[in-house]
């Protein structure tokens, strides 16, 4: 058993190291060419990503300036500077955004919100480091990378990989690849004190067998994907590039999925492989990786993936922000399984009176709980198959369907209202609070659609089918 006091102290010390050099910074913003504007700053990573952490209390007028303070807890980091500006006093506010890096330097920005992407209309002070370095690197990197990409595309599409011509081309490619990677390394070392240099390493080009089949190239890419990234650097976890880079990695696995079951297995494998790669790196990066896959498994409701994360939660080096959330989810998964009594919730009887699900009387053999959203494409595709199948097997004589909508917004609710009349015979209800409702929480629903097949007499869960074929098999086995 872990000593919780030791774990908490360990986390505290590491967190202190992570932010030891950080301090609040000021960003002075000069506004021009609009009537006025509201200004807010949103971080791009962390628990408050895309939520304002500081904003003006009053609109900033044309020709004036304001100073906002970026709290040290968010530094260094990547941010969005959002302007909601008006051309004239009677205008409706219009949004404009500028992405920027901030580290330990106070910033000064001159901005025309209407032309925010033009360097002659929006620019930082002379001597500004992070954003100037990023722009300089992006320009030179694009030039160097373009020639390498031309060679790579040629070699991948050349139909005679055993020819001398191909071998000569491949040798040239390898020479340029190594030269390019060495340039990246020099840029990282030269600018080690700049936060933005942490993003450079995601440009590394690993060794790749270009002459094989598409599957062989993909296997090779997966095998070498993590070769050149420094997971010992805690600041890696504060970049948006790490998330984008991992999305590309997961997509390599997703491209192979032909069924939902295979997708779940592949995404679970992707998570285990990635976490093992970073396990020996900095605890904050290790924890970030566990959080990243937890969020993905939540979105797709991948139980196997959730369970795969369990051993890493018990590792005190894994500084995951979502430890308690993951543990709650794993404990919940264990309670929703075939053989246990289904969690109760309130529905209505034939007379429209409130009645608990467990006390609902029906002559059907089964009760089928369907969590869905009428505005969800996967849900619509499932319902389009489920409803004809339901009618084909005899409707309520076999199954009483409890279709619980998690639609939340006005747009979603409208679509749900239009969909209900087409699904005659089902018991329709909408869970107030959507995915955060009592019904969804009782079944630990985090993504839709989800089906739970329940024995109508015992109220015990029979199966949790992923599709119509699984549902049909479960019914035939009973």
CATH number of residue 429's parent domain: 3.40.30.10
Within a domain: 98: yes
Residue that terminates a domain, selected from 127, 161, 192: 127
Within a domain: 119: yes
DSSP 110-126: EE-GGGTT-TTTSEEPT
Q: Between the CA of residue 154 and those of 101, 171, 210, what are the distances in Å?
A: 36, 13, 10
**Mean of pLDDT over the chain:** 89
Q: What is the CATH number of the domain that holds 90?
A: 2.60.40.2190
Distance, in Å, from the CA atom of 423 to the CA atom of 90, rounded to the nearest integer, reads 47
274 in Cβ contact with 236 (< 8 Å): no
Within a domain: 356: yes
List, for residues 249-270, the tens digit of each pLDDT value: 999 999 998 887 898 999 999 9
Beta strands in 327-416 (DSSP E): 346-348, 354-356, 366-372, 399-405
Within a domain: 287: no
Instruction: Supply the range of the domain harboring residue 419.
Output: 346-477
Residue that terminates a domain, selected from 127, 157, 176: 127
Residue 457, classified by CB atoms within 10 Å of its CB into exposed (0-12), middle (13-18) or buried (19+), is exposed
pLDDT of residue 3: 40
DSSP 79-103: EEEEEEEESSTTSPPEEEEEEEEES
DSSP strand pairing (36-43 vs 60-61): antiparallel
Q: 277: how many CB neighbours lie within 10 A of its CB?
A: 17
List, for residues 111-127, the tens digit of each pLDDT value: 999 999 898 999 999 99
Within a domain: 393: yes
pLDDT of residue 21: 57
* Mean pLDDT along residues 373-385: 89
* Mean pLDDT along residues 171-190: 95
* Mean pLDDT along residues 348-352: 71
Verify cis geometry, omega within 30 degrees of 0, for the bond prior to 76.
yes
pLDDT of residue 154: 86
The count of structural domains within the chain is 2
| 27: CB partners within 8 A, 6+ apart | 41, 67, 68, 69, 70, 81, 102, 106, 107, 108, 109
* Mean pLDDT along residues 427-431: 91
Within a domain: 236: no
pLDDT of residue 339: 93
Within a domain: 174: no
Within a domain: 82: yes
- Per DSSP, helices labelled H in 225-346 are 240-254, 260-278, 283-300, 303-308, 310-313, 323-335
Residue that terminates a domain, selected from 99, 127, 155: 127
pLDDT of residue 441: 83
List, for residues 311-327, the tens digit of each pLDDT value: 998 888 898 887 777 77
Distance, in Å, from the CA atom of 24 to the CA atom of 9, rounded to the nearest integer, reads 25
pTM of the model: 0.71
């Amino acid at each position: 058993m872990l000593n919780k006091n030791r774990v908490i102290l360990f986390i505290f010390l590491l967190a202190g190291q992570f932010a030891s050099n950080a301090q609040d910074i000021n960003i002075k913003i000069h506004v021009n060419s609009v009537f006025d504007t509201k200004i807010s700053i949103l971080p791009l990573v962390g628990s408050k990503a895309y939520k304002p952490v500081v904003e003006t209390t009053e609109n900033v007028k044309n020709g004036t300036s304001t100073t906002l303070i970026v709290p040290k807890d968010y530094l260094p980091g990547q941010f969005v500077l959002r302007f909601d500006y008006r051309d004239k006093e009677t205008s409706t506010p219009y949004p404009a955004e500028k992405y920027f890096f901030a580290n330990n330097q106070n910033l000064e920005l001159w901005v025309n919100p209407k032309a925010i992407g033009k360097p002659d209309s929006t620019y930082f002070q002379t001597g500004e480091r992070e954003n100037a370095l990023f722009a300089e690197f992006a320009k030179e990197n694009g030039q160097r990378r373009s020639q390498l990409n031309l060679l790579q595309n040629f070699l991948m599409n050349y139909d005679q990989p055993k020819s001398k011509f191909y071998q000569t081309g491949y040798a040239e490619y390898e020479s340029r690849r190594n030269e390019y990677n060495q340039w990246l390394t020099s840029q990282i070392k030269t600018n080690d004190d700049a936060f933005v240099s942490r993003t450079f390493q995601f440009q590394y080009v690993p060794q790749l067998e270009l002459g094989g089949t598409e599957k062989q190239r993909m296997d090779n890419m997966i095998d070498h994907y993590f070769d050149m990234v420094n997971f010992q650097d805690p600041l890696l976890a504060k970049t948006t590039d790490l998330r984008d880079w991992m999305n590309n990695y997961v997509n390599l696995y997703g491209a192979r999925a032909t069924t939902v079951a295979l997708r779940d297995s592949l995404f679970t494998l992707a998570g285990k492989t990635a976490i093992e790669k970073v396990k020996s790196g900095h605890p904050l990066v290790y924890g970030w990786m566990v959080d990243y896959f937890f969020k993905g498994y939540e979105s797709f409701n991948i139980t196997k993936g959730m369970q795969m994360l369990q051993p890493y939660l018990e590792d005190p080096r894994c500084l995951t922000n979502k430890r308690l959330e993951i543990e709650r989810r794993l404990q919940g998964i264990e309670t929703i399984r075939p053989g246990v009594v289904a969690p109760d919730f309130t529905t209505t009887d034939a007379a429209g009176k409130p009645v608990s699900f467990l006390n609902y009387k029906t002559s059907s053999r089964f009760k089928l709980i369907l969590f869905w959203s009428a505005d969800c494409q996967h849900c619509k595709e499932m319902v389009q198959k489920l409803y004809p199948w339901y009618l084909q097997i005899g409707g309520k004589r076999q199954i009483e369907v409890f279709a619980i909508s998690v639609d939340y917004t006005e747009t979603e609710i409208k679509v749900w209202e239009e969909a209900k009349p087409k699904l005659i015979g089902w018991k329709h209800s909408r869970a107030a609070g959507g995915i955060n409702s009592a019904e969804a929480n009782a079944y630990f629903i985090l993504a839709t659609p989800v089906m739970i097949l329940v024995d109508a007499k015992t109220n015990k869960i029979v199966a949790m089918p992923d599709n119509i074929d699984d549902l049909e098999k479960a019914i035939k086995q009973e």
